[in-house]
Amino acid sequence: MEIYGGRAGFNSVSFTSEKYESLTRFKDSKIITEISLRKGNRGITNILLKIPFVRSFSLLIEIVIDYWKRFLIVVVPLFLFNLYVIKESTSTSLFVFPINTLEMLFIFLILAGLMIKITPIGKYHAAEHMVANAYEMDSDLTLEMVKKQPRTHRDCGTNLVISIFICFCILFLFFGGAKWVLLVSWSIGYELW
């Protein structure tokens, strides 16, 4: 069975295949694994996966579908903040720093990297790689076998982020910080990855 992807959580590691999802948590000093059938048929993402340069957006759509509550918890406050605070701000009520898209993306990457390094997610991210390496090697997922595996993986999503960022930097030099530049960078970076 082919693994489509994995994700590290605060106390968990999850993997997805064509038909199944697994979630392993460290809870009460025990490792607990739950395996379930994958939710529904992802018709739109299956169609997108067949089209080069468009297939990169299937990943975003899947994440929004799977984590729509968390997505709304983040997006709605950001939208309201942008709508009511930044748009109506004056120099006396709120000092707004002029910032371009490249600087904003760079700051976001630094903050995300710090979050991974400072929080336990870094350990679970490494564990995700170790499990994937063990599975690809011979499907032996005993704790002893997983512990022997390297902490890095060639298909790590962090490499995707770096590839997108490099594409964005290059396109930013020619076209500036237009919103479409980020979308094109995402598509090209995904294809390169």
Per-residue pLDDT band at 79 (split at 50, 70, 90): confident
Give CA separation, 106 vs 79, 111, 169, 185, in Å: 21, 9, 10, 14
Taking only the tens place, the pLDDT of each residue in 127-145 is 888 888 888 887 767 788 8
Report whether pLDDT(52) > 70. Answer: yes
Distance CA 31, CA 147 (A): 14
Helices (H) and strands (E) in the chain, counts: 8, 4
Q: Partners of 25 in the beta sheet?
A: 12, 32
Count the Cβ atoms, other than its own, within 10 Å of residue 56: 22
